[in-house]
Structure 1
Amino acid sequence: MTKRKICLFAFTLFFSIPALSAPPLMDLTTSTIGYASLTIFAIAYILVISEEYLQLRKSKPVLLAAGLIWLMIGFLLNQQGQIEIAKAALEHNLLEYSKLLLFLLVAMTYISAMEERRLFDSLQAWMVCKGFNYRTLFWLTGILAFFISPIADNLTTALLMCAVVMKVGGDNNKFINLACINIVIAANAGGAFSPFGDITTLMVWQAGIVSFGQFLDLLIPSIVNYLLPAFIMSRFVEKTQPLTVCEFVELKRGARRIVLLFILTIFTAVGFHLFIDFPPVIGMMMGLAYLQFFGYFLRKTLPSSLAKKTKRALNNNDQAALKRLGSVVPFDVFQRVASSEWDTLLFFYGVVMCVGGLSLLGYLDLVSGVIYTQWNPIWANIMVGGMSAIVDNIPVMYAILTMQPDMSMGNWLLVTLTAGVGGSLLSIGSAAGVALMGATRGKYTFFGHLKWMPVIAIGYAASIIVHLLLNSELFT
């Protein structure tokens, strides 16, 4: 699980988009450099999508693409005597990325700390030991994914629930495939109504377009998006009892307090943004200090804590407890920082720089002029969901925020919804789906997911209709 963590809270906030949305210096969309940049980005993203098949880290192609795109832009503008403008745009992109990097780093550190303290292992063991049948587990993992992802991000949540499904599913590939599809839909839907549930929602919140509380307008549409496909698929899940082995998992010292500190960190980040209009990353960095001081407390009090627990275990003649105490490792915050998903952090750098370069060349203005001027914004935003099923929703949403089309609040919420849940249509449409294909070792597959796409599309369409009806006043 640690390899694929993207927290984002998702654990991720950033993008003060306005400066990136400035008009390009000139229209270079039909120039040789423009075509070359577009081709390089397209090739890089094909490689990103093929990550699981090529065993190629997704950061590598976009890092190379970003460097090549900006090299060509710099060479051209240097010849034209406009290099200072290019440097200013480049430095602004780097500043925006630094906000993302620091925010993600704190979020990933907390999630890594929770995993190291065995919180996720404990939750998995509880579900396995309860002896639920397959259909109950189908609903339980889906519902938990829906309600955990707004806080712990959709990817981490999906991987957590998938571990339970794999443990109880055994050789029942049909159950594993259906349960994983259900988890992907639930995690993506749950992340759509929370600024911390997905990177795209965090982008929209950080850009100041949708306030923290306004995301709750998407709660009911998100519930509909999950429940309709889940109800249909659950009819095909048997009620038989799986053969499971129950195991005891003991939380490490400080596990619950780290959860409380993480919640406090979220409130701190929201408070900085809400009350003094500072970037939320300032609050997140302050939250990292909470964890650092708590780690210091755990290290300093470890000898006395071990002495007490050893005495208790000896009095009770508990050999298992003594063995566990002998393998205690002191908590180290910087080890948690080191275990963050650096491939993801570098991937975001590549995306930000590539999209920023294409914006400077004029491509985003060109696209915006077509889909948000010539089309009805509602249909344009519905199409965004379809795009996010094929191309990752992060560059799609970043491009839209860079365009900054003039839309009503209802439409901004709509594109937030469709970009988030549209990725459920295909297994490659979201980080959760891609990660589960790798984690299940071929038991949850692209074609296994594709077979249920019509059912998922029912939930997608229904969630849009519910949003249009319930929040109709926001479209004026």
Structure 2
Amino acid sequence: MVSLVSLVPLPAFADVASGLPQPVLAVGVPLLFAVAYLLVVLEEVTHMRKSKPVILAAGLIWTLIAIFPPTNVPVHGEAAEAVAASDDATAGDDATASAGTAEATGTEGREGGAFGPSQGASGTDELMAAREQIGEAVRHYLMEYAELFLFLLVAMTYVNAMDERRVFDVLRDRLVSSGMGYRSLFWATGWIAFFLSPILDNMTTALVTCAALAAVGRESPKFVAIGCVNLVVASNAGGAFSPFGDITTLMVWQDGKLPFFDFFALFVPSLVNFIIPAICMHFAVPKGRPPALEGRARFRRGAIGVMFLFGCTITTVVCMHNFLHLPPVLGMMTGLAYLKLYSYYLTVTSRRYGYVANHGHANGHGNGNGNGEDDDPSITDRDAEDIAPFDSFSLVARAEWDTLLFFFGVTLCVGGLGYIGYLQLAATTFYEGWGETPANIAIGVLSAIVDNIPVMMAVLEMDPAMSEGQWLLVTLTAGVGGSMLSIGSAAGVALMGQSRGLYTFGKHLVWTPAIALGYAASIAVHFWWNSELFLVHAGK
């Protein structure tokens, strides 16, 4: 991020943060962000959890912005009213007051607010209005994070529930019993992720398939590490050709830049993006086979119900968002309620199957009255475990909180960069100075360093006049560019937490050249496969 922004002349930044001590924000904010990300990169060396430096950086960045507030960001709500009121107070007569008010409110922001603080306000009023606006911006980014946090928390809870009900143990058993070796399993899990991602979304797909991958390859950490890299690439590539596969594709679709079915024109480029790195990684995958299981794993009671409810949750998300235009997180939280009610049902009815809380008093089961008497001698200890109830709150507690808090820090850090104008300025410089194709390719590289959501937001706010082919190009690059680094996509960050140390930034970085080769090849294929779309003007 810092290297790309350094390409922008510093005088241009003065238009974004005029009247400020430039070194404080223009240098201080990206420097804090860079140091925090450096510590994330060095997580394997320092053994410091990745959430700690970015959370600290987020607090320091917004503290700097509040101490030295920008003077020409859009002011909305109460802050805009304060600016207008201060102009009225400083005016000498009605005509002057009217002029001052017009000056304060005449320049419209993206949401119809004034740009402030205005020149007519006193220094104290300017500072008050600016800090109120900064507070509104922080609350805006907190709302964005809250949606991401709750969405990811529910996804992790369902993954934990399926793991606790032995869904992935059964999947591992089926994969191993199929006779496939590590290399066949590498391709099988990759294809599953590629075709599941357009339906579930890339992050949820990565979480689900990683759990199965870790179960299959628990005896081979090398296989798990390479397999996770493959899953990140496959999930991001699969999500790029569906409006529901990634948040950025959803944003482009909602903004009316592309019709729903036009996204599927990216299927072939996305396929190339997945296959080329997978071929390169194939030869590094161990040649052996996973060790055979001692016995066939079987579902715990309720496993089928949990999987069914997860499918219902995804359906609820899609229907609520597509037909009712409600936020996807509302559908996910509704799905969490499905799971919690189902866990209550399993707990209440578990006694009917001979399970009691103190079943260990006798031979592992009882008749439900707590005295350890056996009502069915055929029930074994394993049966008692299979029919045991499960606590949905314990599944929530098992979520990877380091990852969830990492997203908090990243969202606020990137929000701070966007607030002082870096993302908007970079997008303007790219499209006006470099041209559409180089800019859209650079957007993908940028999304490997900075989260692709604010990058795509900046592009949509710029609203460059591009053909459908170019909008598909930036959709592709923003979707798959994040695969080049483990921290470049939600799927990669989530897997770093889900794999619990087996998949790290450094292990992903080894394969960045191969992933970059697939990135370049997918762009070339897009220009060839969808050449006619570059002649079609996109728009609402």
| Shorter-chain TM-score range | 0.7 to 0.9
1:52-201 correspondence to structure 2 within 5 Å: 52-77=44-69, 80-81=126-127, 82=129, 83-150=131-198, 151=200, 153-157=204-208, 159-160=210-211, 162-163=213-214, 166-167=217-218, 169=220, 179=227, 181-194=229-242, 197-198=245-246, 200-201=248-249
241-250 vs 266-275, greater mean Cα deviation? 241-250
**Which amino acid in 1 is paired with 2:417?**
L
Letter in 2 for 1:156: L
Q: Does 1:376 align with 2:424?
A: no
Distance 1:129 1:392, change over 3 A: farther
Deviation by residue 1:194-242 (Cα, 9 ceiling, x = unmatched): 4555565566567776676554333222222222343455467687666
**How much does 1:431 deviate?**
6.3
Query: Matched residues in 2 for 1:41 and 1:330: separation?
Result: 45
Instruction: Provide the C-alpha distance between the structure 1 equivalents of 2:504 and 2:144, rounded to a whole number of angstroms.
Output: 36
Cα offsets for 1:315-368 (capped at 9, x unmatched): 99867x543414754222222222222222222222222222222212122211
| CA contact 1:221–1:466 (8 Å) conserved in 2 | yes
Residue 360 of structure 1 is matched in structure 2 by 419
Work out the number of aligned pairs and report it.
Answer: 447
Q: Name the structure 2 match of 1:295.
A: 343
**SS in structure 2 of the partner of residue 330 of structure 1:** coil
Residue 35 (structure 2) pairs with residue 43 (structure 1)? yes
In 1, Cα distance between the equivalents of 2:408 and 2:233?
27
Q: Deviations over 1:422-470 (max 9, x none)?
A: 34445665566675799597899947963x6554444322222232333
Alpha-carbon contact 2:354-2:375 (below 8 Å) kept: no
Aligned to 2:389, the other structure's residue is in SS state: coil
Quick one: structure 1 residues 353 and 295, their matched pair in 2 at CA, closer, same or farther if it must change by over 3 Å?
A: same
The alpha-carbon distance between structure 1 residues 181 and 286, as it changes in their structure 2 partners (threshold 3 A), is: closer
Displacement after TM superposition at 1:43 (Å): 0.9
Are the structure 2 counterparts of residues 315 and 127 from structure 1 closer, same or farther at C-alpha, using a change threshold of 3 Å? farther
* Closer, same or farther: CA 69–333 of 1 in aligned 2, 3 Å: same
Cα separation, 2, equivalents of 1:27 and 1:404: 28
The residue identity in structure 2 corresponding to 1:160 is A
Aligned CA distance change for structure 1 residues 330 and 178 (closer, same or farther; 3 Å)? closer
Structure number with greater CO (CA < 8 Å, separation at least 6) is: 1
- Say if 1:73 and 1:404 are closer, same or farther in 2 by CA, change over 3 A: farther
Corresponding residue of 1:4? none
Q: After the TM superposition, which of the residue ranges 195-204 and 89-98 deviates more from structure 2? A: 195-204
| TM-score, normalisation: structure 2 | 0.70
- Of 323, 332, 339, the match for 2:391: 332
Q: Which moved more, 1:270-279 or 1:141-150?
A: 141-150
Counterpart secondary structure, 2:274: helix
Instruction: Give unpaired runs (5+ residues) of structure 1.
Output: 1-22
Which residue identity does 1:252 align to in structure 2?
Answer: R
Does the CA-based 8 Å contact 1:410-1:471 persist in structure 2?
Answer: yes
8 Å CA contact 1:157–1:187 kept in 2: the answer is: no
Q: Distance in 1 between matches of 2:489 and 2:503?
A: 18
Partner of 1:386: 445
Report the Cα distance in structure 2 between the residues aligned to 1:433 and 1:214, rounded to whole angstroms: 27
**Farther-moved stretch of structure 1 (82-91 vs 453-462):** 453-462
Alpha-carbon contact 1:153-1:191 (below 8 Å) kept: no
Matching residue's letter, 1:357: G
CA shift in 2, pair 1:403/1:71, >3 Å: farther
CA distance 1:341–1:473, shift in 2 (3 Å): farther
- TM-score (normalised: structure 1): 0.78
Map 1:167-246 to 2 at 5 A: 167=218, 169=220, 179=227, 181-194=229-242, 197-198=245-246, 200-201=248-249, 214-231=262-279, 234=282, 244-246=292-294
Partner Cα separation in structure 2 for residue 437 and residue 102 of structure 1: 16
Question: 1:7 corresponds to which residue?
Answer: none
Separation of aligned partners in 1, 2:261 and 2:397: 34
- In structure 2, how many angstroms separate the alpha carbons of the residues matched to 1:316 and 1:94? 54
Give me the CA root mean square deviation.
3.9
One-letter code of the match for 2:181? Answer: N
CA separation in 1, counterparts of 2:318 and 2:38?
36
SS at match of 2:146: helix
Task: For residue 69 of structure 1, report the CA deviation from its aligned partner.
Answer: 1.5
Kindly, what percent of the aligned residue pairs are identical?
48
8 Å CA contact 2:243, 2:253 repeated in 1: yes
Equivalent-residue separation in structure 1 for 2:21 and 2:176 (angstroms): 56
Contact 1:27 1:361 in 2 (8 A): no
In structure 2, distance between residues paired with 1:404 and 1:44: 31
Code of the residue aligned with 1:360 in structure 2: it is: Y
Aligned equivalents of 2:224, 2:354: Cα separation in 1: 41
Is the 8 Å Cα contact of residues 177 and 449 (structure 1) preserved in structure 2?
no
Q: Which amino acid aligns with 1:278?
A: L
- Larger mean CA deviation between 232-241 and 347-356 belongs to 232-241
In the alignment, is residue 460 of structure 1 matched against residue 519 of structure 2? yes
Question: Structure 1's 297 and 202: CA in aligned 2 closer, same or farther, altered over 3 A?
Answer: farther
Question: Does the CA-based 8 Å contact 1:382-1:415 persist in structure 2?
Answer: yes
Aligned pairs for 1:265-276 within 5 A = 265-276=313-324
Partner of 2:79: none
CA distance in 1, matches of 2:502, 2:338: 41
Task: Answer yes or no: is 1:342 the counterpart of 2:401.
Answer: yes
Q: 1:44 & 1:288 partners in 2: Cα distance?
A: 33
Match of 2:24 in 1: 32
3-state SS of the aligned residue for 2:527? Answer: helix
Aligned to 1:9: none
Q: What do the CA deviations read for 1:276-333 (whole angstroms, capped 9, x no partner)?
A: 22222222222222222222221222111347x999xx999867x5434147542222
